[in-house]
Structure 1
Amino acid sequence: MPSGEYFTDYASRMGLFRWRIQKVALLFGLPIPFLLPFAVGGGTLSLFSRMYIFAIAVLGLNVILGYAGEIVLAQGAFMAIGAYATSRMLGAGAGLLPAITVGGILAAAVAVAFGLPSFRVKGFYIAISTLALQFISEWFFNNSRADWIHGGSQQRIASEVGLVGPIGKVGTDLHIYYIGLVGMLFFAMLSLNLSRTGIGRTFRAVHENDLAAAVLGINVFKNKLLAFAIGGFMIGVSGGLYAFYIGFISPAYFTLALTLEHYVMLLFGGLGHVWGALIGVGVVTLLQDVLRNILQSVSAATGLNATALVPVFFGSIIIIVLAVEPKGVLAALGQLKEYLRNWPYAY
């Protein structure tokens, strides 16, 4: 507790922003992303829009894996369900907000269905169950006989749609940026508050030791399915926003590689922490973009295809970071904060 600050009630003790320095940082930091579009170009704006959309998906993965401890290897499948459902709803004229909501609900329903094996199995066995969903989704969305359900494997999204029905037309890069930003802030606040509720504490208990949680009277199976539903909804919404962002959807965008990329983001930032998920998405996305630009310059200068080395350099950096700090960047920042708080003393 910072010197000179103390709590007189439980409400202030449990607040999201408890210290004066946090409130000052919020006051000066929150306007920055809203003012950012007026200071950067279109390419950078698009990069940040993708970052916000992926942050929603990684926050959903954090609920399932970081909070409840359930390994999920179907991140791409959940996003694909949300994307194709959003495309169908937009084609029916429902508007963007109802479309991504329906996409999130369908993704949550499928997540719960493939979370049912958690009644009998856990750990890597439940991971295999969700990995099966990934393969099934890729087959399903590539299957032309199922076009009457998903609308076709290759679909173009309308560049301008209403927020609700025909009301409030959106479609510019600036619109997508602010929709992604508001969506990320909403789900980040939802995740932060979820971790402080009884549901969040129950998820943590199931994560740490589901047998001990069951002995204490917690319905482990019910809470695992609830985590699948909440996380699946968030990932499905992210898939719908991603479809509107790129303007075109294909099963090739929602493969196992996307799942692994989101895992890297979450583990890099810090598993089980909202701020860790957000930091991981931001750092990994910017790192990928910087590496790609550098290697493109090398390719132009040498005539070699240096951009093929992006995964090699990127993977090497991730391995080094995780070897130095296995708990992620957030844990390293926490250690730095404690060091600076005690400096120049040794205690």
Structure 2
Amino acid sequence: MLINKNNIGLILKYFFSVLIFLFFTVYKISFSSSQDKIYQSKIKFFKPVITELIKRGADTNFIYSLLADSKTQFNERFVKINVTGYLTKTDYSHNYNRASVKSSNEFLHQFIEILTKCEEIYKVPKEIISAIIWIETKNGKYLGNNHIPSVFFSTALAEEQYFIDLNIKTMKEAFKGNDDERYQLEQKIIKRAGTKSNWAMNELLALEKMSKISPIPVNDLMGSWAGAFGIPQFLPSSYIKWAVDGNGDGIVNLFTYEDAIYSVANYLRENGWGMSRESQRASVFLYNNSTDYVDAVFKLASRLRQLNQVETDSVNVIQQ
């Protein structure tokens, strides 16, 4: 058989095509195998969580679909901060300084029509709603970059003995009290580990319910280390119970301002907001169980009212 230059070219072209095909086939098989190993390792690691969720009635397809996503990862920081974070007191005072009042007031004026209508419906002052949205996400500018399912999967492991020991060790390194106080704190951490693990399990169950109605895939949700997301920083369980459609588009999206504003007002009303200051403070405390947080909300709201009263008085003087 005579082989001319054209035939040689065709043979070489065919040869290299086969090589390229074989390379990508082997690469794909290798990559797929590697991914499968990672997935199986993840399933094994989160087995205590998976077992408990199934026992509580979770859809296995939903659980495994979350874990199959590469974004869902264990993060030790979530186990630590959600169990022992309460030991560090949060300073909220910067949320009602002059700059904060100015920024929150700009938000109030930008959405004055929505806030006023919302106040008429829910009887929650627009200044309170504006204050909460400022303190939570600085008017929606800082929404958090923590993967929400990862927060709950990680925190759900808090009751495992290894992580209880880890949190106690972390606490001991910073603790300065006596032996009795140390023992009491250890017992509190053990109890809190169980509470937080149970809480995270319930939030994963709520996340499953949310997945059926949320306009955003739940495995794409990003938010705080505490598992809250959106402009008002709702937990999945709060979304299910109290998030509402503020703009009438048939979708409840807490990353839109109308829905966020209405949802904050609905949350407070449904959690006891009434005419008395006691009921009002109690409803805000349920939003964030920190007395300092509640104080910050009311201080900022008060300064917003004072500022707008001054502005109103100035306008009246000019008109006279």
Q: Tell me the TM-score normalized by structure 2.
A: 0.26
**Higher RCO (CA < 8 A, seq sep 6+):** 1
Q: Which has the larger radius of gyration?
A: 2
